Every structure is written in C-alpha cells, then in structure tokens.
Structure 1
Amino acid sequence: MTGTPGRVALVTGSSSGIGAATARLLAARGMRVVVNYLHSGTAAEEVVAGIEAAGGQAMAVQADVREAAAVGSMVEQVRAAWGGIDVLVHNALTPYAVKPFREMTWEELGGKLDDEMRAAFTVTRAVLPGMTEQGWGRIVYLGTGLSRRPREGMIALGTAKAALAQFARYLAQELGPLGITVNVVEPGPVDETRTAADVLDEEHRQRQVAATPLGRLAHPDDVAQAVAFYASEDNAFMTGTTAAVNGGMSMY
C-alpha cells in the first residue's frame, strides 16, 4: 500500500472513465475518496458502492466545478465529514466543440478556454487553504496529448489543455515551498471514455493503434496508475512535470 491511510482525495468528474478508475485505485491504496460528479449521480453512487464493497471509504458529492459557490459547498461538506482535502485530482471535462478552426466561433473556442481555466482555478483555490495550512498537498491535473500533438478538429480541447499545462507549471513553482506538488498527466486516446467515443471512428482508432509502439490504446486504469503515483507519498520530489501516458506515441 503506497498511499497514507486516511488521506482525503477529491477526484473531480469521477463517475466514469479515468476519474472512476482513479477513485477506485486511490481508495484501494488507503485514501478516502470524494467522487465528484455533475449529472451522473447514479453512476457516482455505483463507484462509491464498489469502493465500499472492496473495503474502502468514499462519498459522492455533486458540484459544477466551474461554479465557486458549488465547489465551496462541496469542500465544506468534505471538511465536515473527513477534514481537509489532501489530494486534488482535477479530471472533470467540460464540453467542447469538435470542428475545424475555420468553422468555429469565438464562443466555442473562447468558451472552452474559459470553462477549462475557470474550473481549474476554482477547485484549486478551494483546496489550497487546507493544503497550505498542513504544509503538504498533491495536485494532479488531467491534460491531453492533443495539447502537444494536434489532431484535426481538436483545436478547442488541445488549446485549452495546453493552457492548463502551463498553469500547472506556474503553480508548481509557487506552491513548491509550501510542500505542495503540482503535476500533469497527459493521456493519448483512452478506450472506454467519452472523448474517445466522440472523436475516434474505427479508422482513426486503428491509425492511433498503429502509431503506438505498445500496440493498443490506453485503458482508464493505465492513466489512473500514473495519477496515483503523483498523488502518493512516493512522489516526494517531482513537481512541474508531465507524464505522457500514450504507449510511446509521443516519441514520434
């Protein structure tokens, strides 16, 4: 067991996909996990039930991570039950347009940028006081390989996540002296997720697999393993870094 039993981890957008896999893994490693969701309450409760059935501790909490009042209420609810939040895994994915730049409106591109940064800003500000007070914290943001490796139609998501990655580096520099690490996990295409289902038809999927030395797309559990390392006591000296979880695709 690599996590300290009793640490409290908030995983945003964790009713399915990478977020759910991360919530289950952190709980298996001894953390108490907050399963945040926006719409999928039933799915979030199923994740909690699975964690509890395996002997872990979890609670589901609804909040739109773009809204400061909702996030503040969520953090207060967690604090009342378990104390402060030690680990933030910001995974929640806000909607975005899939289309070429020439067909895109500013509302679609600028709106995604605003949603992405507003959510990251809001959840980070909400958990920082507790982490700062105890002189220990772990922040992990979920990015995407699209922020470095463009693909047709993905300019809104790729640009927004590139902004998030740079935001994380600035935070790593500022928060390091306070005992808080900040890192980014950037998956390539991940099977069993909404993003892959939305943008990868079978032809695209096969092209991605062919370009991957390990010969398959990632599974949510592959990404969760990288997140769990960054979130753990084991990660004592890595901050401001990016883990590319893409089976070697980024080498080319």
Structure 2
Amino acid sequence: MTGATGRVALVTGASSGIGATTARLLAARGMSAVVNYLRSAEAAEEVVADIEAAGGRAMAVQADVREPAAIDGMVEQVQAAWGGIDVLVHNALIPYAVKSFQDMTWEELGGKLDAEMHAAFAVTKAVLPHMTEQGSGRIIYLGTGLSRRPREGMVALGTAKAALEGLARYLAQELGPRGITVNVVAPGPVEDTRMAGVIDDAVRRRQVAATPLGRLARPADVARAIAFYADEDNAFMTGTTAAVNGGMAMY
C-alpha cells in the first residue's frame, strides 16, 4: 500500500463500536484509515475489508496504546506505507472498574488515570512530528459526558476522561500556532458499544426519557461529530468539547 493516499487518519481502538464506525466514515470521506486494534485482529480486518469494498483505503495495525514502543512501531509502519498521520482519533477504551469510590482501591482509580493519560500522551507525541512539519493536523480525543455529569459507579472513567479534557485544552493552546487543532467529542450513553453492556434496561429507559431527541446515541452519531472535527475545512475550532447526547445534558 504505497503511493498517493490523501490525508491519513489513525483511529485507535477501531475494531468495533465508535472506532470502527469512525474509520469507515473517514474513509468514505476520502481519508486513508489506519484501523488500530489490541486483540481483535479478525474484527479489525473486517473493518478494513468493508472500507476497501466501498472503494476506500485502510490498513489494520496492532498496537497497545499504553505501550510507547508499540505506538512508535505502528506510526513507523504507517509512515512506510502512506507517509505521516494527519488526523488522530484517540478512541481506544482503557479498562476501568465500575464501583463506588467507597469500594474502590487507589490501584483501580490511579491505575485508570495513569493508563488513560499515558496512552493519550504517547499516541499524541508519536503523531506530532509530522503534523508540526506540515503545519497542520487534527487531534480528536474521545471523552464522556460522565466527566461533567456523574453517574453511580463511574468515578474511575469520569475522572480519567475529565483529566483528558484538561490535557486537550492545554494542547490546543500550545499546538494552535503550529496549525494543529485539538478537540474532544464527549458522547452520552451510546448503543451498540461495550460500555452499553453495563447499563440495565431500567436505567436505559430513564436515560431515553431524559433525552429531548428521544433516543440514545448510536455510534454513527458520534462518528459524524468526529468527522466534523477531522475535516480539513474545520480549521478554526480548537480546545472545544462537543457533547453528543441528544440534549440529555446541555452545557
């Protein structure tokens, strides 16, 4: 896979859910999609096959985004095939404990914070040289509405993603002069994802009832917000957080 490819988008955690839907959409809009995965090689190759069947370009690359050496290897593989990465969508979900603060250990809370920030730090560091050299780039982090609207049992995820939002604003300020934008897409509850499995039916019904648009988000709703930030024309929005929640929370 060599030659002219247009813009290259790396989507971490792209073998299923929001990541897979985002990779398909960015490829449909003319980008070459790097489908990063941790363990689900078969699922990642299915995403690549879908993209190629639709006339797009994609490659699947295994890497644990918590391991800087693995990230560097992935970026080098992409550079060898297609050149540098123009768009980073950092979507990979770092595991976390679902329990109350009262029952949580520091290893569970601190471990999630450390892994979340380490992954974002390392993958961002790896893509910056090319973006800096060309004077443009798009960085989009996946956040969560739980950072601002707490829900029982979600202290580890909500706190870690709140830290990620803070990092994004600092990076937006620092990287703006280089032509690099940094934004966060923060979904509310999303159907058809691994996180959806921790919500029981009664909670889901309450969430739908609290949503003015009358349903929960689907992966495609989130992917479209990501694609908006990734677009080359969207050059003057940075340091923002887009809430994709159907009006469940407004801020």
Q: One fold, TM greater than 0.5? A: yes
- Separation (CA, whole Å) in 1 of partners of 2:153 and 2:238: 31
- Separation (CA, whole Å) in 1 of partners of 2:235 and 2:101: 41
Q: Superposed, which structure 2 residues align to 1:1-252 within 5 Å?
A: 6-197=6-197, 199-251=198-250
Equivalent residue of 2:89, what SS? strand
- Separation (CA, whole Å) in 2 of partners of 1:6 and 1:148: 37
- Separation (CA, whole Å) in 1 of partners of 2:154 and 2:33: 32
> Normalized against structure 2, the TM-score is what?
0.97
Residues 185-210 of structure 1, C-alpha deviation per residue, up to 9 Å, x if partnerless? 0000000000111x200011001101
Q: Which runs of 4+ in 1 moved over 4 A?
A: none
- Separation (CA, whole Å) in 1 of partners of 2:23 and 2:107: 33
Displacement after TM superposition at 1:33 (Å): 0.4
> Normalized against structure 1, the TM-score is what?
0.97
Displacement after TM superposition at 1:104 (Å): 0.3
Partner amino acid for 1:59? M
- Separation (CA, whole Å) in 1 of partners of 2:86 and 2:120: 16
Equivalent residue of 2:243, what SS? strand
- Separation (CA, whole Å) in 1 of partners of 2:234 and 2:191: 27
- Separation (CA, whole Å) in 1 of partners of 2:63 and 2:205: 36
- Separation (CA, whole Å) in 2 of partners of 1:34 and 1:148: 31
Residues 161-204 of structure 1, C-alpha deviation per residue, up to 9 Å, x if partnerless? 0000000000000000000000000000000000111x200011
Report percent identity of matched pairs. 81
Partner amino acid for 1:238? M
- Separation (CA, whole Å) in 2 of partners of 1:213 and 1:145: 16
Any gaps of 5 or more consecutive residues in structure 2?
none
Displacement after TM superposition at 1:234 (Å): 2.3
Instruction: Report how many residues are paired.
Output: 247
Equivalent residue of 1:250, what SS? coil
Displacement after TM superposition at 1:236 (Å): 1.2
- Separation (CA, whole Å) in 2 of partners of 1:22 and 1:147: 22
Displacement after TM superposition at 1:233 (Å): 1.2
Displacement after TM superposition at 1:251 (Å): 2.5
Equivalent residue of 1:35, what SS? strand
Equivalent residue of 1:132, what SS? helix
